């Protein structure tokens, strides 16, 4: 991997990732942009103890632009975008409309109250462009390009974890308008949080309770149990295993774990990195094959969220790195909406049995199989 860092016109960082050195990465951002100012803040929910981010400026972010005005495509033919180069392999830049920004501390005053606690949302949000091809998808990448994305995620995890005040780094991809994506170009995001997020905090507590009760690691025991439950296994490699969890929340949900427990992406060894792209691409293509397109229609692209769960920089030693991939589509033309019990109580009701979902994913016909 070859890395080239530069700056956009308003001072935000842009980093190109290439498989080999030599690509021209010296194009300047010629747009007349003013320096970005963030008034993002985090407020503590006094009832649940969760931090909620307030980022009102994001109402002005780019929303479903025409393909010819995509801000994630390369700058070509006089059209200037967020990426000054005329082409790229993988590009990562600071979000122009971030939920979290280190500069928030300059504009938001902290307040510690019994019921009203406010702090600056002093973190960082980055956009990861997987390819310069606007019409592609992650599933369309070859293994070498998918490996480059993995290397970029790893590098960003190391860089962002070292920033002052960052507690947790979260790499993820939203795909599909049904999920809420507002830019059609294939991309993901990375959030560097100034707090440990609620779901991660809950996992830490459960892992600590399991350690106290059994003397063992929760995630190692979980992986051993799922590897012994073939009815929920989807894919198995030499170094990774993918399965539908026993208590899956979503209609089709797969967790991908390295067999060796590690805390985050930076701890993966070369053998694990080399095997990951093929298995991950296989999973994504199986998701697309779940709901075949009608004859003559464009190929189906199942909406999904792909989420890397990593241990926080401090206080998450029991956690195991894993990726969770799930879709809100439960049947052709039907979505799983988070209605009264899910949104109101965080009590999920699933429409597809985990064992049935695993069987469908194992049988899903993917190109080249």
Q: Quote the CA–CA distance of 245 and 226 in Å, as a whole number.
A: 8
What are φ and ψ of residue 132, in 5° steps? -80, -10
Q: What is the DSSP letter of 35?
A: P
Q: Is 69 in contact with 150 (CB distance < 8 Å)?
A: no
**Cα Rg, the chain, nearest whole Å:** 21
Q: Where are the alpha helices (DSSP H) in 215-264?
A: 218-227
Supply φ then ψ for residue 213, to 5 degrees.
-80, -35
3-state secondary structure of 131: coil
Cβ-Cβ contacts under 8 Å for 58 (sequence gap 6 or more)? 97, 99
Which residues have a catalytic role annotated? 187
Which pair of tokens denotes residue 99? 């939920």
**Residue pair 242/234 in contact by the 8 Å Cβ criterion:** yes
Rounded to whole angstroms, the maximal C-alpha distance in the chain is 64
* Six-digit token string for 26: 């010296």
**Cα–Cα distance, 44 to 51 (Å, whole number):** 5
Give DSSP secondary structure letters for 72-100: TSB-BTTB--SB-SS--SEEEEE-SS-SS
Pairing state between β 322-327 and 329-331: unpaired
DSSP code of 266? G
């Amino acid at each position: 991997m070859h890395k080239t860092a530069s700056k956009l016109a308003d001072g935000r960082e842009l980093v190109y990732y290439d498989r080999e050195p030599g690509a021209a990465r010296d194009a300047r951002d010629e747009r007349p942009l003013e320096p970005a100012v963030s008034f993002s803040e985090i407020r503590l929910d006094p009832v649940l103890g969760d931090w909620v981010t307030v980022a009102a400026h994001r109402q002005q972010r780019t929303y479903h632009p025409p393909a010819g005005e995509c801000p994630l495509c390369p700058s070509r033919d006089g059209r200037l975008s967020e990426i000054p180069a005329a082409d790229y392999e993988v590009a990562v830049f600071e979000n122009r409309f971030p939920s979290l920004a280190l500069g928030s501390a300059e504009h938001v005053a902290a307040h510690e109250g019994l019921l009203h606690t406010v702090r600056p949302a002093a973190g960082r949000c980055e956009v990861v462009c997987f390819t310069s091809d606007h019409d592609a998808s992650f599933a369309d990448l070859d293994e070498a390009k998918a490996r480059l994305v993995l290397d970029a995620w790893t590098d960003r995890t190391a860089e962002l974890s070292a920033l002052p005040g960052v507690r947790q780094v979260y790499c993820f991809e939203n795909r599909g308008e049904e999920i809420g994506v507002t830019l059609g170009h294939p991309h993901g995001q990375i959030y560097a949080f100034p707090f440990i997020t609620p779901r991660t905090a809950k996992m830490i507590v459960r892992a600590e309770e399991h350690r106290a009760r059994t003397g063992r690691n929760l995630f190692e025991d979980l992986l051993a149990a799922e590897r012994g439950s073939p009815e929920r296994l989807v894919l198995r490699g030499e170094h990774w295993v993918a399965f539908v969890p026993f208590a899956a929340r979503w209609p089709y949900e797969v967790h991908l774990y390295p067999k060796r427990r590690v805390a985050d992406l930076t701890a993966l060894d070369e053998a694990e990195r080399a095997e990951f792209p093929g298995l991950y691409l296989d999973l994504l293509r199986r998701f697309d094959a779940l709901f075949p397109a009608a004859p003559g229609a464009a190929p189906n692209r199942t909406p999904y969220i792909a989420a890397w769960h990593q241990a926080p920089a401090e206080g998450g030693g029991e956690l195991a790195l894993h990726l969770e991939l799930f879709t809100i589509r439960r049947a052709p033309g039907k979505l799983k909406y988070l209605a009264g019990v899910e949104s109101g109580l965080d009590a999920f009701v699933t429409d597809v049995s985990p064992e049935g979902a695993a069987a469908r994913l194992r049988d899903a016909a993917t190109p080249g199989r």
